[in-house]
Amino acid sequence: MLHAFRLLFALFLLNSALTFQNRWPTIGVRWALEGSLDLTVLLLALAALIAWRGAPGRFLRWAVLGVYALLVMGRYVDVTAPALMGRSVQFYWDSQHLPNVLAMFTARLSSAQLLLGGLALLALVVAVLAALRWALNTVLSALTRPVERRVVSALAVVLLSVYTAGRLSPRLSTEHSFALPVSAMLVEQARLTLAATVFRNHDRLDAAPLLPVSDLGRLQRGDLFVIFFESYGALTFDDPRFAGPLAGDFAALERELAAAGWGIASARVESSTFGGGSWLAHSSLLSGLRIADQGDYQHLLTTDRPTLARRFARAGYRTVAIMPGLKFPWPEGRFYGFTEIYQPDRLAYHGPAYGWWVIPDQYSLYRIHRNEVDVAGRAPLFIFFPTINSHIPFAPLPPYQPDWRNFDVDPDSATIVAADAPLNGPELAAAYVRSIRYNLVVLSGYLRQYAPPNALFLVLGDHQPPAVVGGQNLPWQVPAHLFSRDPTLLARFTAAGFQPGIRPGPAALGGIERLGPLLLETLDTR
């Protein structure tokens, strides 16, 4: 009886280790009443091997433990990544960015907290491995006894038969009785890795049409500001949890700008990424190509294709990139054709740090205004600015400074910047709302107080926020807004599919890569 109980408990542990689900919106897991096909097949294979070769040796026991640990880790990644990011994981590309992601989330932790967290993680890993080793050794020992081996084999055959019958017959649904095999996911990851490396095909990019040439005459030598609001997704208009709290902010923005003579036209477009990977959306807009993974991105940088910045430079514009979030050199800037690049060192911010990204967006925009916009006799400007303060974890958030000139007086003053309290997981949605509200207030303030009257502003999102904020299975859509004092110019964009006002229409205008050609075509006078 004791042997039977130990065997059942071991099988329960092994099955649970491959069938758990994510406990949204956390990195934790919850138990799920499902069967594991991976475990079922493994039991049959081990039973057959032991019946043929006898009791397993030390090497086999450790090999089985290693395989099972890999499956458990794969299961954790497979259920956690979509819950947090909103998309399936791609090991080859995502692993390359893991160090920066970890650095971002640990930047606000003390050495003691990092040590304790590391020890806790190590203890968890050791405990899981110990439990798996005990369970596997218990099962392997049971399989050496003929009666228990026959019982386990029969149980495995029954489970496989039930699963197969459910797949073959539409009247027998077993979809929710079995977890998706982890082994199938690992095989798919291997296929994706080979497709990204050995069998990579760039014909789609190489054969795509080039960005059109434009004289930009309809802009009448006015500046173009392209401002990407980090994590600004269509859920800010579609999901009542976010649209409700932000409705007053959008209404205030529209009302304030109308009083200052600014008109608005809006649309929604489909981003090339979700929950992260902002540079993919940036490159899609700037190149006019859909850049959806790191392989396409890296290949794009090896080409001599024209970009939006280069098309504006050809028309006599000075091209400026504001990149306060960069932590490393940015050779991509030369590919895009920016003549001036303001990275953190050149922005010369010396105030308190706001999390991993350090610099308030309002400060960055004001510094560029003083250095590039408010200059007598200058050339027209093409300004590209991806904001950072609405990046996850959306805190600490700098307060808005009604008098932007405070940044000239004393950027180190604690009265200018004051950090929010540390953020807990359940507060992410509320923090996200506050960060988008901050973006809107900064935008309104700049347009009303400083923006050149003949400028055109394209303000859009790079991607929806991570799924840990808004949930899974969201469309990859982001809002795109145009701001101008020229109603005739805005009318040309509404004729091209934009809607008057701050609220985008219900249908996507197309992919985010469509905006670059649309700008060039709409602004051309020929």
Which has the higher per-residue pLDDT, 315 or 49? 315
State how far the Cα of 354 lies from the Cα of 395, in Å rounded to an integer.
7
CA distances from 352 to 13, 88, 412 (A): 49, 36, 7
Tokens linked to 294: 């790191």
State how far the Cα of 515 lies from the Cα of 198, in Å rounded to an integer.
32
The pTM for the full model equals: 0.88
State how far the Cα of 368 lies from the Cα of 376, in Å rounded to an integer.
14
State how far the Cα of 344 lies from the Cα of 337, in Å rounded to an integer.
19
Q: What letters, b where the CB count within 10 A reaches 16 and e where it falls short, cover 230-259?
A: bbbbbbbbbbeebbebbeebbeebbebbee
pLDDT in the model for residue 414: 38
pLDDT in the model for residue 176: 67
pLDDT in the model for residue 252: 97
Summarize the confidence of residues 407-430 as an average pLDDT: 59
Residue with tokens 């991976």: 38
Residues forming beta bridges with residue 482, ordered by sequence position? 265, 458
pLDDT in the model for residue 424: 54
pLDDT in the model for residue 224: 98
Three-class secondary structure of residue 389 per DSSP? coil
Q: Residue 481: in which H helix or E strand, if any?
A: strand 477-484
Query: Could you state, in order of their start, the residue ranges of all structural domains in the chain?
Result: 2-196, 214-382+392-406+427-451+465-476+488-496+507-523
CATH class of 214-382+392-406+427-451+465-476+488-496+507-523: alpha beta
| Chain centroid, CA 404 distance in Å | 31
pLDDT at 417 over 60: no
Closest Cα partner for 372 from 381, 359, 363, 384?
Answer: 381
Cis peptide before 393 (omega within 30 of 0): yes
Tokens linked to 191: 């296929």
User: How many C-beta neighbours within 10 Å does residue 168 have?
Assistant: 8
pLDDT at 456 over 80: yes
State how far the Cα of 220 lies from the Cα of 453, in Å rounded to an integer.
12
Per-residue pLDDT tens over the stretch 220-268: 999 999 999 999 999 999 999 999 999 999 999 999 999 999 999 999 9
Per-residue pLDDT tens over the stretch 124-163: 989 999 999 999 998 888 888 888 888 888 888 888 888 8
pLDDT in the model for residue 488: 96
The DSSP result for 212-252, as a single string, is PP---GGGTT--EEEEEETT--THHHH-HHHHHHHHHHHHH
Residues forming beta bridges with residue 266, ordered by sequence position? 481, 499
pLDDT at 171 over 90: no
Pairing label, strands 178-179, 35-36? parallel
Summarize the confidence of residues 301-307 as an average pLDDT: 92
pLDDT in the model for residue 449: 96
Q: What is the largest CA-CA distance in the chain?
A: 92
pLDDT at 204 over 80: no
Three-class secondary structure of residue 12 per DSSP? helix
Instruction: Work out the pLDDT band at 179, boundaries 50, 70, 90.
Output: confident
Asked if residue 161 lies in contact with residue 41, where contact means CB atoms within 8 angstroms, the answer is no
Closest Cα partner for 423 from 399, 392, 387?
Answer: 392
Three-class secondary structure of residue 35 per DSSP? strand
pLDDT in the model for residue 415: 43
Average pLDDT score, the chain: 88
pLDDT at 35 over 50: yes
Which has the higher per-residue pLDDT, 4 or 487? 487
